[in-house]
Structure 1
Amino acid sequence: MTTRMPFQALPVSQSDVSYEHGPDSLLRAPVEPGLTEEIWIDGSDRFPGTRRRIWVHRPVGNSPDEECAVMFFNDGWWYLDPEGEVRGAVVLDNLAAAGHLPPMIGVFVDPGVVDVDGVTTKHRNAEYDAFDENYGSFLLEEVLPLVEARHRVSADPSQRGICGGSSGGNAAVTAAWCRPDGIGRVIAFNASFAQIPGGNPYPALLASEPRRPIRVFLHAAHRDLNWNSRRDNWFAENLETAAAFARAGYDTRLVTGDGGPSPNHGGVLLPDALRWLWSEDPLPH
């Protein structure tokens, strides 16, 4: 069946653009807000000396006794805030009410903070930009057990996804790449692959390594940082990574938009990104 898209004129400006949220990103009757629990994590095996908050969100109608999928969201409160650009819990509630997602728990994870000489300092870039298994293993070995203590969670890696933007997009892709045994679905908005220490590893790795059983949704902005530069070009690095995923045979989707390094367009895309990511098609092996 052909999907017909309504006409939408392209804006002349590519930099000063803001996208309007659709109905799935808005609080609306008769959808009842789900239940959100805030949890503090003091200390970490993977990131010693850090502390952070997480929020565990269960949409209404998803029974605690029912086995659920899990969707991790990096930059927890930024993605949970109902008045922010992403509005993750609002979106999960609306999609759950419409039956567009499997029973699912949203886990919103703040980056850690550390005390340095009495000053609270963000540990975000150290966690999110590193190309290693630490962040994915932290989610699976330290955060997920807290969720499992409260809800029945599927042990199937294809029933666990992760979403993030900018450096959080790096962390999302790297978590699934390094731990495909635990995370099988990825959304990365405006990923900052260009600032991974040592450079973006994915085009070379995707061309040389066996395919992992993951599905990836990527988003890029035409006027992201250094969009017209030879080095550290965030837009180009996203395009090259998406092309590498496609050439390697992954089930991947790329959406580009106008504007700069902002969470706005990714937030607007979140409902459709989740619908695509959690479609019933089996993950490739």
Structure 2
Amino acid sequence: MSDDNAAEAPVEWGGLPSRDRDFYAYSMDGKEPYELGPDSLPKDGAPKGTVTPHREFGSTFVYPETSRTYSVYVPAQYDPVTPACLMVFQDGDDYAGPVVNVPTVFDNLIASGEMPVTIALFVNPGNPGPGAPVYGGRGNRNVEYDNCNADYATFLAEELIPVVAAEYTISSDPEHRAICGISSGGACSFTAGWFRPDQFRKIVSHCGSFLDIIGAHQYPSWIRRQYKRPLKVYLQTGEKDLDIKLGHIPLANREMEAALRYRGYDVHLEFGEGGHTLIHGGALFPDTMRWLWSDVV
């Protein structure tokens, strides 16, 4: 793909210049001064929730003829009489896994009363599932995460979440619903809140790709010019994050933070030393949850 049409269609990873591939490898080298703390590791006395095995789900109208796997964390304190909060994770297996340890963090913070009883929905991209390149190329990740429209939030709200809600009592209050992701999944999380604040009002974006992929670079301008949404936004990136022809992620996140602050949003930007990984975001995750849910507990 040439530079002339890079902004007109989804960007295939194979179309990026070799220098950008080199920078991507550098940003993913894992040499970051962060590690998980005690709130991300199992604690004696903290009741342990359950995580369902992978289930398959096929979209019927938003992304027809696609399917993806998902799993669900349910805290030990869940009571079907009382609607639980909900948090959705894009690239769900990455968040459920050992880099972030979301189920363990939830166990600990729910037990300590530092976050509400919250069900986690870990959703992987559409076919062929997890493992697709960050900027598309295989599967439906590029379409689902990088488009700046209501489609993905509508898929969650009207297709997948109702399946989960048929088994568990989930709050319909958008103040009780959060959404989280990394890279294009981080931009996707903001997109979900931006276009469907009736569904999601708490947003976490790790290394968010607010770049010229399919329009997310426009968000700082839109934030400044359009009506204010009732959103609470946590952004994280680092000095080694991507600087490629699609844009500069550290700068893009600073511009997002500045625009959100200008319009009076409740926003926090954590800027560290890391690259395009979940290492820093994982180390910060317990404190991120304390900040995100502080108005609910």
TM-score (norm 1): 0.86
Match of 2:260 among 245, 249, 252: 245
Which residue is 1:74 aligned to? 90
Moved over 4 A (4+): none
Paired residues, number: 260
Tell me if structure 1 keeps the 8 A contact 2:70–2:123: yes
Task: Compute the displacement of 1:62 (Å).
Answer: 1.7
Which residue is 1:211 aligned to? 228
Query: Structure 1 residues 132 and 27, CA, compared in 2 at 3 Å: closer, same or farther?
Result: same
Task: Compute the displacement of 1:75 (Å).
Answer: 0.6
Cα deviations across residues 93-119 of structure 1 (Å, max 9, x unaligned)? Answer: 11111111112111111111159xxxx
Task: Compute the displacement of 1:199 (Å).
Answer: 5.1
Identical positions, percent: 37
State the Cα RMSD in Å. 2.0
Which residue is 2:173 aligned to? 156
Aligned equivalents of 1:216, 1:198: Cα separation in 2: 19
Match of 1:86 among 96, 100, 113: 100
Instruction: Give the number of the structure with larger relative contact order, counting CA–CA contacts within 8 Å between residues 6 or more apart.
Output: 2
Letter in 2 for 1:104: T
Which residue is 2:80 aligned to? 64
Letter in 2 for 1:72: V
Q: Is the deviation greater in 229-238 or in 212-221?
A: 229-238
Aligned equivalents of 1:60, 1:281: Cα separation in 2: 19
Tell me if structure 2 keeps the 8 A contact 1:111–1:123: yes
Query: Structure 1 residues 156 and 199, CA, compared in 2 at 3 Å: closer, same or farther?
Result: closer
- Note if 1:16 corresponds to 2:25: no
Q: Is the deviation greater in 213-222 or in 22-31?
A: 22-31
Aligned equivalents of 1:258, 1:233: Cα separation in 2: 15
Match of 2:209 among 189, 192, 195: 192
Aligned equivalents of 1:195, 1:28: Cα separation in 2: 43
Aligned equivalents of 2:83, 2:295: Cα separation in 1: 17
SS in 2 for 1:122: coil
- Please show how residues 1-285 of structure 1 align to structure 2 within 5 Å: 16-38=31-53, 39-81=55-97, 84-114=98-128, 121-198=138-215, 200-226=217-243, 232-280=247-295
SS in 1 for 2:211: helix
Cα deviations across residues 22-67 of structure 1 (Å, max 9, x unaligned)? Answer: 1111122222321122321023321112111111111112223321
Which residue is 2:4 aligned to? none
Task: Compute the displacement of 1:167 (Å).
Answer: 0.8
Query: Structure 1 residues 88 and 195, CA, compared in 2 at 3 Å: closer, same or farther?
Result: farther
Tell me if structure 2 keeps the 8 A contact 1:194–1:200: yes
Cα deviations across residues 200-257 of structure 1 (Å, max 9, x unaligned)? Answer: 111110111111011000111111111xx78611110011011100001101111101
Which residue is 1:5 aligned to? none
Tell me if structure 2 keeps the 8 A contact 1:131–1:196: no
**Unmatched segments (≥5 aa) in structure 1:** 1-14
Aligned equivalents of 2:274, 2:236: Cα separation in 1: 12
